[in-house]
Structure 1
């Protein structure tokens, strides 16, 4: 099978993680619960947050599925599972005990007025203290916070590897059959229907927790997208169809986003009335449209305009995972420390984003040069650094 050139997926993954930095900075300023909160928190930018929140992580899981498919072809099941375990579990454990704790520390400082020092807090953190509570809401420690994505990705990779081993040659036939099925209008409609089934049947029973063991609605949507990426990775007809539907997908994305913003803007006093509640089932379907069509739009336009290589792509491809590991802790710490300065929220937000990028990439520059730090941030040995910046299709082609 001819391997498609997928430079654009690397660019999209880079773009998605940059959006994630902006999104997590935005979490400081909206009314939704987060680790630390701005005194200026309001609903002003929540419509912009909703523009990316339904699909951003689903896109990353789908791209991860594509990468897994190519690595499976290159390495085989056993080597794939060993490599992914090393590259994901080591950063996860390191992150939970070194990178993430400052987030929890400043969270309890702000939410429950904890006055102890960081060393005292760490003794509580590593021993699993669960006494930091506001009513029934207690902080569980140790925690992985934003690194939940890594835990889920490792789990899906293990499940995917097991299924690939069980299916054997039938996996290729399943991939080809799915590629034929998802053509034309079915590229849009069928995944939306699957996401809708998950939302209608599981969303109320299993609210999102990011705790892995009880997060069945999240698994239903994210593993579905991971599996679609893995099965469709080398289906050139599918990617051509995605590019052809890019404008339609963009229109559906923006239309569904506008409907969601309008619905969520209804005052609480009216939201519980029968006239409004009758629209809830339909809005769940609209939400599923807003989960899938942005992925198609981003991939479609990316394939048309970003399917090229450059030194910047190779550098950023290697940088993106260490930057992801570092970014949220930097946002939380700097947001807390900047409060006494009392900057206007717009200016402060720009400063937070810029400083997060500067310190995240500064951290990456240190990590990439120190051999002992590389595995702690998911990077391979120094000799493999060049390969880590190669596009997905070339990684698969090497034997």
Structure 2
């Protein structure tokens, strides 16, 4: 099987956006994060909203594609063992060695602990609950912060592998073949309909926790994206159809996203009292435009995901300079980046560098830290590689699309 360069490229792009997004979290107004600068930037909210609607779903979709491409070539038990090793070992290492600095910086900014990282780390590694509010996830005794993606991906992978024998007995292969050929139109319609149901029914009842066990709204959207990736990974018909409709998908995504963003502005203006006498509110009351906004969001979510796949297969499925290196670097950078962001902000905020140099400094320190730690240590020290999800020696690559695609915030906590 030839390597799917578009999937590698989308993975790299997605994690590049993730770094920018988490830097933006330090500066966006009214969005909670582990560390917040007093220099808040109101304009940051809008590009972050535009990508926030689909960014994590894209990561799970790419992960599903990666799994789907190797399912036929590896025994389920061996695949489950390999994925468990490559997901749970970095998760455990990240919890004890990478994430604690975020908890320390957050607690120091909140003034809930005394200075001294060494003393904090000794207490943290006891995994005993802290007083609630000490840092995000303190009541659990530890936090996984941005590494929440790893246990979710592990759970979805094992659920998929465990369900395959049952699905085969129930005619799953025939259903898959029909869905990816004559019934592929259902793949365009059912996921956004499901997401609309999740927005209306699950989102109000199950706010995002990233704690795995009670995060039902997030599971409703992320597992659907993951399962879709597994389903279509090897379907030439679906990929050809996606490529053929890339322009309509782009137009639909822009239109639906624009409607959702525009109605969000309307909501802000109503909350501020600026539209309390607007004539159109008599024609479309608040419940009406909120309903339109939710429908537009569901359409934007799915058409953006499909559009990214469509344009990826059209424009990115060829070797790119540096793609091999970047594709390997994604996992270590994912594990490192948020701790570096929080630490850089912790260092720079007291300097009062202002709304330009401070965020640029945070971004520069984050990127430089990822480059140096990955290049000088992780790639070259054999025993470090599996701790950051890498296999084998420095220049070995996994088979086509096999590495688990990685990534917002937090723990078995309410992050």
- Normalised to the residue count of structure 2, the TM-score between the two structures is 0.87
The question of whether the paired residues in 1 share the 8 Å contact of 2:137 and 2:143 is answered with: no
1:155 and 1:101 mapped to 2: Cα distance?
A: 24
Q: Secondary structure at 2:322's aligned position in 1? A: helix
1:391 to 373, 394, 400: 400
User: CA contact under 8 A between 2:7 and 2:62: conserved in structure 1?
Assistant: yes
Partners of 2:136 and 2:120 lie apart in 1 by: 21
Q: Deviations over 1:219-251 (max 9, x none)?
A: 111011100100110111111111122222222
32-41 vs 4-13, which moves further? 4-13
Determine if the alignment matches structure 1 residue 180 to structure 2 residue 181.
Answer: yes
Distance in 2 (CA, whole Å) between partners of 1:361 and 1:279 is 46
Structure 1 residue ranges without an equivalent (≥5): none
How many Å apart are 1:341 and its aligned residue?
2.5
Q: Which 4+ stretches in 1 moved above 3 angstroms?
A: 134-141, 168-172, 181-184, 269-274
Q: Which has the higher contact order (CA 8 A, sep 6+)?
A: 2
**Partners of 2:61 and 2:229 within 8 A in 1:** yes
- Unpaired runs of at least 5, structure 2: 405-415
Q: Which residue of 1 aligns with 2:391?
A: 380
Aligned to 2:24: 26
Deviation at 1:181, TM superposition (A): 5.1
Distance 2:45 2:133 in 1: 27
Asked whether the equivalents of residues 69 and 400 of structure 2 are also in contact (C-alpha less than 8 Å), the reply is: no
In structure 1, which of residues 319, 323, 328 is the aligned counterpart of residue 333 of structure 2?
323
Contact 2:25 2:33 in 1 (8 A): yes
Q: Distance in 1 between matches of 2:290 and 2:64?
A: 32
* SS in structure 2 of the partner of residue 279 of structure 1: helix
Aligned mates of 2:212, 2:291 — CA distance in 1: 27
Q: CA deviation at 1:182?
A: 5.3
- 1:356 paired with 2:354, answer no
Match of 2:81 in 1: 82
Determine the structure 1 residue equivalent to 2:412. Answer: none
Q: 2:150 is matched with which residue? A: 150
* Comparing 370-379 and 110-119, the one that deviates more: 110-119
| Matched-pair contact (CA < 8 Å) for 1:59–1:295 | yes
CA distance in 2, matches of 1:134, 1:270: 37
User: Taking structure 1 as reference, are residues 25 and 393 closer, same or farther at Cα in structure 2, changes over 3 Å only?
Assistant: closer
Residues 95-127 of structure 1, C-alpha deviations (whole Å, 9 max, x = no match): 011100111111111124532311222233233
**Corresponding residue for residue 256 of structure 1:** 256
- Tell me the residue number matched to 1:210: 210
After superposition, the Cα gap between the structure-2 partners of 1:394 and 1:88, relative to the gap in structure 1 and judged at 3 Å, is closer
Equivalent in the alignment of 1:131: 131
Shift of the alpha carbon at 1:22? 0.3
Maintained 8 Å contact 2:103/2:136: no
Q: Secondary structure at the match of 2:19?
A: helix
Superposed counterparts of 1:23-62, under 5 Å? 23-31=21-29, 32-62=31-61
Q: Return the alpha-carbon distance in structure 1 between the equivalents of residues 194 and 128 of structure 2.
A: 38
Q: CA RMSD in A?
A: 2.6
- For residues 10 and 191 of structure 2, the distance between their equivalents in structure 1, rounded to whole angstroms, comes to 20
Q: TM-score of the superposition, structure 1-length normalised?
A: 0.90
Compare 51-60 and 236-245 and name the one that shifted more: 236-245
Q: Is the 8 A contact 1:206 1:216 kept in 2?
A: yes
Per the TM alignment, residue 381 of structure 1 is displaced from its structure 2 partner at its CA by: 1.6
Within the candidate set 276, 288, 294, 2:304 is matched to 294
Distance 1:151 1:241 in 2: 33
The 1:287–1:134 alpha-carbon spacing in structure 2 relative to 1, beyond 3 Å, is farther
Query: Is this contact kept in 2: 1:36–1:332, CA < 8 A?
Result: yes
Across the two proteins, how many residue pairs are aligned to each other? 390
For the Cα contact (< 8 Å) 1:77–1:165, is it kept in 2?
no
Matched residues in 1 for 2:364 and 2:301: separation?
Answer: 28
1:97 and 2:96 equivalent? Answer: yes
Please tell me whether the aligned partners of residues 9 and 63 of structure 1 are also in contact (alpha carbons under 8 angstroms): yes
How much does 1:71 deviate?
A: 2.3
SS at match of 2:396: helix
- SS of equivalent to 1:392: coil
Given that 1:5 and 1:393 are in contact with CA atoms closer than 8 Å, whether structure 2 keeps it comes out as no
How does 1:332-371 map onto structure 2 within 5 Å? 332-365=342-375, 366-371=377-382
For residues 116 and 276 of structure 1, what CA distance do their matches in structure 2 show?
49
The CA distance in 2 between the partners of 1:136 and 1:234, in whole Å, is 41
Q: For 1:244 and 1:191, how far apart are their aligned partners in 2?
A: 20
Bigger shift: residues 313-322 or 11-20: 313-322
Tell me the residue number matched to 2:408. Answer: none
1:392 Cα deviation after fit: 2.2
Flag the 1:271–1:52 CA change in 2: closer, same or farther, 3 A.
farther
Q: CA deviation at 1:209?
A: 0.5
Q: Secondary structure at the match of 2:180?
A: helix
